[in-house]
Structure 1
Amino acid sequence: MLNMNYIVLLFLIIVISGCSANYGRYQQKHDSTPTRKPTAVELQDAVPRTEVKSRGGNRHYTVRGKYYKVLQSAEGFTEVGEASWYGKKFHGHLTSNGEIYNMYGMSAAHKNLPLPTYVKVTNLANDKSVIVRVNDRGPFHQDRIIDLSYSAAYKLDMLKTGTTKVQIQAITEQTVSPPLVKKSNIKGNYIQVFATSNEDVAKKTSQAISSLYKYPTEIMRISQLYKVKVGPIEDSQELQSILEQLKSQGYPEAFRVIF
């Protein structure tokens, strides 16, 4: 009887151990594709803006015995190599700079760029491009240079292959190009509605918004990015009202700017 009890106890321990496999801080062992596709709003490019460096993730570090140096500045940074993407396994977990990874956001991981950094990523296989915000470290594979969010990979049409050759171009204040149209000299409060790497989309967006409001719209080109803004709007209450309307109409990243 004693031997039988011992066998039963040993069996239970084995079963329990098998049911509680330890995958570290993640709930699943292998990464996987989300159950739904990104929405139109989730496929909008990240909107570059001036940000201070994150407190976390900007020191030199070592992973798997290899030492990585973090760049002091992203100015003039370009790189060509293989891109991969990461999804459901990492969704909801902390990124290297302490934010929460959202696989439907326009974000990315890079081994050396300062956090955060905005970059334009172009799929060299089909010439599709996207603007993402780098807020994480990786990918720690010798042949890959950037890990993209699910939405970014979807927009670049690289999900079937898993990886693709890309070109990365950092977007910084020093890479500002001449404006696409003549810049307004009128100072005041504006709303930046939308930003995209596609000039045609920017023009169509500008036309659509100008038909809705009495205020002029303007397209500004900054590096590889086209920004659509509305204004100037003197009345602060009206500005707030228009801002809320725009956010509810599919422009959640719209925000107030002062010139």
Structure 2
Amino acid sequence: MKRSLTIFFLLAIIGLVSSQISSTARQKASAQKVLMQKDSIKKSKILAQIQEKKIDSLVGTLAVFKPYKKEAHASYYADKFNGRRTTSGVKFYNNKYTAAHKKLPFGTKVRVTNERNGKWVIVEINDRGPFVKSREIDLSKRAYMDITSNKGSGGMTVTIEIMEK
């Protein structure tokens, strides 16, 4: 009788210990799921940014570009213009792929290539300018920083090509 009670108590203790171990394991597993969910949110934001850049690149590879001007001087908008209206009527944002040109029609897609390093970006003309004789095109800060080889410089020599429709 004493043996059966001892065995019963031992089994009960083993059951309690194993349930505590399994609950600890469940807590660890749920903590890992939470970490994975947070990590996947960060990854999805990063993937969205990469996909945004790929969309611009995809347009460039599928489109046909007609040469417009070689050895043109390009600069970028000052930060003070961020949020202001452009000549076309839309708001200017320095983090978008837009540009200002003196003569090209609004809505024209243009590929701007840095002649020094070969990097290029596709921008949409939505403003007039630059109002300096030596400059041909003003890029948004994001577009400029994507193709420049020297982040501290204010200008560079580029090739401008117009996307044919």
Helix, strand or coil for the counterpart of 2:80? coil
- 2:162 counterpart (130, 145, 170): 170
Displacement, 1:76? 4.1
- Structure 2 letter corresponding to 1:128: K
Displacement, 1:46? 8.0
Q: What are the ranges of 5 or more consecutive residues in structure 1 without an aligned counterpart?
A: 1-38, 49-74, 174-259
Asked if structure 2 preserves the Cα contact closer than 8 Å seen for 1:138 and 1:147, the reply is: yes
Displacement, 1:133? 0.6
2:122 matched residue in structure 1: 131
- Structure 2 letter corresponding to 1:118: K
The correspondence of residues 239-254 of structure 1 with structure 2, limited to 5 A, is none
Q: Distance in 1 between matches of 2:91 and 2:128?
A: 13
Q: Distance in 2 between matches of 1:47 and 1:136?
A: 24
- 1:119 counterpart (85, 110, 114): 110
Identity, % of aligned positions: 38
1:177 matched residue in structure 2: none
Displacement, 1:79? 1.0
2:151 matched residue in structure 1: 159
Q: Distance in 1 between matches of 2:57 and 2:131?
A: 24
- Structure 2 letter corresponding to 1:139: P
Q: Distance in 1 between matches of 2:153 and 2:77?
A: 13
2:49 matched residue in structure 1: 41
Q: Alpha-carbon deviations, 1:116-164, whole Å to 9, x = none?
A: 1000000001111000111011101111100000110110125311100
Q: Distance in 2 between matches of 1:136 and 1:130?
A: 17
TM-score, normalized by length of structure 1?
0.39
Q: Distance in 2 between matches of 1:159 and 1:104?
A: 15
- Structure 1 letter corresponding to 2:97: M
Helix, strand or coil for the counterpart of 1:133? strand
| Structure that is richer in helix per residue | 2
Could you say if the C-alpha distance between residues 171 and 82 of structure 1 is closer, same or farther in structure 2, counting changes exceeding 3 Å? same
Establish whether residue 79 from structure 1 lines up as the match of residue 53 from structure 2: no
Helix, strand or coil for the counterpart of 1:142? coil
TM-score, normalized by length of structure 2?
0.60
Displacement, 1:77? 5.3
Q: Distance in 2 between matches of 1:92 and 1:46?
A: 26
2:3 matched residue in structure 1: none
Asked if structure 2 preserves the Cα contact closer than 8 Å seen for 1:46 and 1:106, the reply is: no
Asked if structure 2 preserves the Cα contact closer than 8 Å seen for 1:46 and 1:132, the reply is: no
Q: What are the ranges of 5 or more consecutive residues in structure 2 without an aligned counterpart?
A: 1-45, 60-64
Higher RCO, Cα 8 Å, sep 6+: 2
Asked if structure 2 preserves the Cα contact closer than 8 Å seen for 1:120 and 1:168, the reply is: yes
- Structure 2 letter corresponding to 1:78: Y
Aligned residues: CA RMSD: 2.3
